[in-house]
Structures are given as structure tokens and as C-alpha cells.
Amino acid sequence: MSIVSNSLKRIKPSPTIAVTSKAREMRAAGKDVIGLGAGEPDFDTPDNIKEAAIQAIKNGETKYTAVDGTPKLKKAIREKFLRENNLSYDLDQISVGTGGKQVLYNAFMATLNPGDEVIIPAPYWVSYPDMVLLAGGKPKIIKCSEKNEFKITAKELQKAINKKTKWLIINSPSNPTGSCYTKRELTDLSKVLLKNKKIYILSDDIYEHITYENFEFFTIAQIKALKNRTLTMNGVSKSYSMTGWRIGYGAGPKDIIKAMAKIQSQSTTNPSSISQAAAVEALNGTQDFIKIRSNSFKERRDFVIKSINNIKGLSCLKPNGAFYIFPNCKNLLGKKTKLKTDKEFVEKLLEKAEVAVVQGSAFGLEGYFRISYATSMDNLKKAMDRIKSFCENLT
């Protein structure tokens, strides 16, 4: 008899972490692997944020804090939402977790009952379905068309809703595609949601500040009639290059925030006191570097998109945000290449070309793969040459 719980058997390890680990093992064995699988900026945390953390240590801010965030950080988060999104929240409508992932996990654990359904547009961030399953819910995957930039439409949403629907997840800009929902698209979705008043919306905005071509970011909580049914998750990981600091936050209805704090009180308790002090500086301090870094990401995106679309058998849309692209590799699967799936494609790419990417099926959509261009241009140039050579030798 296995000691492992049945709930754990319902989930699988993160495919993105698996790819990163495999690439790390190959490098340790002396292979020149270029990793395009990591979901984190290659830039360092800005110095002013580091200094705030150092000062917090010197000031002795090394004790337990309130379970779901210090008042000082919650105030900074409140000001961020007001300043950037024109959203007003009380402090007891804000929760701080050990990364954005914990905020999402807490929300599902606190709200889902057996049989409750969560609508998840695919391609999706790999952890959404497994967190829902672990919480006892049922993921309802809606495969979104490349023709619609991998975004769910109002018609598709309406068709997916039933009496068991409890949440809709919206991730914009998207991981893995980089696609962004426009204000008009979110307004169209809101019309469906306003007719179905028992559904809550979880808006994952973690890539909010990484957008291009003057894209105007809009989050669904800004639609006034939906604000009291929306949990908006964000954090400092991507915008401020603070992935290792592990600070995410959410804002939404008081009853959900209170329930999430109860879950967190019995798991991790508070996030790191030092990381919280650093996050205060991130949100309150200079924001000038964000635009500069986004411009750098845009340059890389443009280079990678052009390179991929010049490789026979591959094609890719140009997204408006995040630091990912999601190329279509369906033309390189089949009898001619002897590669049956996108998983086989990326495995062979790693083995033969020593380039690590993640298969689209890991994100719920077969026939694609995800490239993270959050690495140097030198690495990207070498990687694109290797991918091109690999693809040309397949047929």
C-alpha cells in the first residue's frame, strides 16, 4: 500500500521545471546547453531594492510578520493598484504570499469544493490545472485557436459555463504565448460573466509591465460590475527581476482574502520579512528601469520571431507581452520526420541541438513549443542557428 495520498496522485511535476533540471544536468556533464525554458528575467534585481533588504536586516526586521503581509507592504500594494490600475482596495482586501503561485494555490484551496469547475483557457500556465485538482476541483480546459491569438472568446466562454462553474482564469499577458487581452476583449467576456453572477474571475497579471508596441494594459477588475467577483494576482517576480525573493500578492473580495489567510496560516505562515521590505521599495521606488528592460525584451522578441519564421516548418505569432513566444511545429511532426508529438520534438532538439524549450502539450495545446527569450542576445543567436540546423536536418 502506497503512503502517497490520492490527492497527490492526481497531479504531476511541473514540466517547465523538469526541462530546466534536465538542461542543468546536461551542463553539469559538460554539454553546451542553451536554456530557453526558464520563466524568469535574466536581469538582476535593481540595487535600490537590494539596499532596502540590507537595511531591513540591519534594522532587525527579521521576525515573524502578519500572516498575509506587513501593513507597510499592503499599503504599497494598495497604492500600486490605485496608481496604475485605478482600483481601490482596503488593506483587508489584500493578501501577500510566498510568490504569486501561493496566492493562486491559497485561493483554490480556500474556495473549491469537490465537483466545482474552473474554466482554464489553453494554452495555460502549467500549474493551473494541477492546483485545481489538488484543491478537489475540476479543470475545464478550453482550447483556444491560434487564429484568435490563443485567447478565449465570449462565445467559447458562454459554451463552457454550467451550474458547476466557479472560476474563470484569465492570464494576460500570457504564459506561454505572450498574448494580451485588450480592453474590448475583456469587455466582451464581461458581458457573459455579468449574466452568470455566481462565477468568480481569477486574473493573473504577473506580466503586467512587460508589454510592447504601446499596448494599453487593462485588467478585468477595472470593469466596475465585476470588481467584487475578481481576485487579481500580481507580484514582483517578473517586473522587478525578483523571482528568488518569492513575493506575490492578490487583491479581491474580503471573504476570499480572509479564507486565503487562514490557509496560509496553516502552511507557510508569513512570507520572508526581508523580501517584504524589498518589495515595498520595488513598488514605491523608481520604476524607470521597467521600460528600459521591456525595450530590451522587445528587441529580443523581434529577433527571435523573425528567426523562427525564417525556419522552414515553423511559424509564430508576434505577441504583445511577457517574454515568451509559442511557435507552431505541426509541419515538422509526422512520417517525414518520424517525430509524432511536440514532446518528441523538444526532446530531440535538446538531445541533438542542445537547446532546451518546453513542449506545447505541457501547456495544454499539442503541436507547439514555448521559447523564453529572457536570456542574452548571444545565447539567442546561437540557439536560433541551432534550431534552424536541427529543423533543416529533420526532413
* CATH code at position 362: 3.90.1150.10
Q: Can you spell out the DSSP letters for 188-212? A: HHHHHHHHSTT-EEEEE-TTTT-B-
The answer on 97 and 192 residing in a single domain is: yes
The residue among 39, 344, 329, 361 whose CA lies nearest residue 178 is: 39
Q: The whole model's pTM is what?
A: 0.96
What is the residue range of 307's domain? 6-44+289-392
Say how many domains are in the chain: 2
Classified as helix, coil or strand, 141 is: strand
pLDDT in tens, the chain (395 residues): 788 888 888 888 777 777 778 888 998 999 999 999 888 999 999 999 999 999 999 999 999 999 999 999 999 999 999 999 999 999 999 999 999 999 999 999 999 999 999 999 999 999 999 999 999 999 999 999 999 999 999 999 999 999 999 999 999 999 999 999 999 999 999 999 999 999 999 999 999 999 999 999 999 999 999 999 999 999 999 999 999 999 999 999 999 999 999 999 999 999 999 999 999 999 999 999 999 999 999 999 999 999 999 999 999 999 999 999 999 999 999 989 999 999 999 999 999 999 999 999 999 999 999 999 999 999 999 999 999 999 999 97
The residue from 220, 249, 284 where one domain ends is 284
Grid cell 515595498 is found at 280
The answer on 217 and 131 residing in a single domain is: yes
Residue 208's CATH number: 3.40.640.10
The answer on 313 and 211 residing in a single domain is: no
- Other Cβ atoms less than 10 A from the Cβ of 188: the count is 15
Whether residue 211 lies inside any domain: the answer is: yes
pLDDT on residue 8: 85
Whether residue 16 lies inside any domain: the answer is: yes
The answer on 294 and 271 residing in a single domain is: no
Which residues have C-beta within 8 Å of that of residue 249, sequence separation ≥ 6?
A: 69, 73, 77, 94, 95, 96, 97, 100, 103, 233, 234, 235
Q: What angle do CA 42, 46, 49 make, to 5 degrees?
A: 130
The answer on 141 and 174 residing in a single domain is: yes
The answer on 153 and 232 residing in a single domain is: yes
Classified as helix, coil or strand, 230 is: strand
Which backbone phi and psi does 134 adopt, to 5 degrees?
-65, -30
Whether residue 1 lies inside any domain: the answer is: no
Whether residue 182 lies inside any domain: the answer is: yes
Provide the grid cell at 72.
507597510
The answer on 245 and 328 residing in a single domain is: no
Provide the grid cell at 275.
523580501
Strands 117-122 and 369-372: unpaired
Long-range contacts of 333-338 (CB under 8 A, 24+ apart): 333/367, 336/394, 336/395, 337/394, 337/395
pLDDT on residue 17: 77
